[in-house]
Amino acid sequence: MSVFRGHSPRDGGLGALRAKIAAIEASGRPDSGVLPFGDLAVDGCLPGGGLPLGRWHEIGGTGLEVETAAAPAAFTALVTAPLAARGQVVWVLRRDDLWAPGLAGLGFPPERLIQVCARDEAEALSVMEDALATVGVAAVVGEVEAADLTAGRRLQLACEKRGATGFLILRRPYGGQPKREATGSAAATRWRIASAPSEPAAGEFGLGSPRFRVELERCRGGRTGTWLFEAPGAYDPAADNWEMTDVAHPLRLVADLGDRQLAPAQPLRRAG
């Protein structure tokens, strides 16, 4: 498992201080390591140099995607694909519209996926909690509207039991009214994912590899940022096994968008 590395404080004094704070925050929590994206521009913003494992993360969409959550689902599948090598991935749904062939095309092993369809929000959260605390489950993805502070804290405790990583895809029911945005959250990070125009290689027709505009909106112990990611291995059976190829992560950084809004203005995005 060369792709997983532990905390590595970069510079002396500041690093020592950070480690001290982390130790106070963790309060005996086992260190589950991180999953680096393989690019310093991203990993430098995240505490420990990668996506923290054994925590849970919020992933939201923009515009219409708040209801369909296709880009967040694709992004989550790409991020959890390396974790699926460690165990099963439980995906808790409210609507049964996740399509396994699509995930397989992105490089996610469908034989590692257990899908659960919950009847309501509370049930989805409790199933997530149950799955996170189970041996043999590497990651749990849940599609819920929002998790309040109590639910988030419970999820965090469940994550710490076995070191499983949680992903909460924030998805509003069809035709539902937007809920009041949760003021605080126990999540380690919060991401906002939108599809971005693809760039096929020169001389090729059609669509290129899927691209995503990824915004790290909130990050405990780290910094925020906005990047353009590409999934070069999507729909390419040659890139079947991440550990065999030299690709460190299924997502490759294309550009650092920063706060400069280099991406074309998004007509889909609405206020609220």
Partner 1 sequence: MRAVRRLSAVSLEAARLGLHPGQKATDAMALVPELAAAEAEPEADAAALEALAHWCVRYSPAVAIDAPDGLFLDVTGVDHLWNGEAAMLADFRGRLLANGLPFRCAIADTPGAAWALAHFGEEGAIAPPGGQGPLLAPLPPAALRLETETWAQVERLGLRQVGQLMAIPRAPFGRRFGRAALTRLDQALGREREALTFRRPPTPWYARLAFAEPISAPEDMARVTGDIAAKLCARLETQGQGARRFEIAFHRVDGKALPLAVGLSLPGRDPARIAKLFAPKLETVDPGFGIEVVTLMAQAVEPISGRQVRLDNAREATVEEGLAPLVDRLTNRLGEDRVWRAGPVESHVPELAVGRLRPLAPAPGPKSPQARAWDRQTPRPTRLFRRPEPVEAVMALTPDDPPSQFRWRGQTHRVRRAEGPERIGEEWWKGAIETVGVGHVRDYYRVEDEAGARFWLFRAGLYDDPAQPPKWWMHGLFG
Query: How far, in Å, CA of 270 to CA of 6, rounded?
Result: 39
Closest approach, Cβ 55 to partner 1, in A, equals: 20
Site for partner 1, rule CB under 8 A: 63-65, 68-75, 77, 87-88, 90, 96-107, 110-111, 113-119, 123, 127, 130-131, 134-137, 193-198, 200, 205-208, 210-211, 213, 234-237, 240, 264, 266-268
Minimum CB separation from partner 1 for residue 198, in Å? 6
Start-to-end Cα distance in the chain: 41
Phi, psi of 142, deg, nearest 5: -130, 140
Q: Note the residue count of the chain.
A: 272
Q: Name the residue nearer to partner 1 (CB basis): 98 or 222.
A: 98
Q: Which is nearer to partner 1, 35 or 69 (CB)?
A: 69
Tokens of 155: 């999820």
**Minimum CB–partner distance for residue 213 and partner 1 (Å):** 7
Q: Supply φ then ψ for residue 200, to 5 degrees.
A: -65, 155
Residue type, 100: A
* Cβ at position 135, least distance to partner 1 in Å: 3
Q: Which is nearer to partner 1, 62 or 156 (CB)?
A: 62
- Distance, CA of 61 to CA of 69 (rounded, Å): 6
Give the nearer residue to partner 1 in terms of CB position, either 69 or 155.
Answer: 69
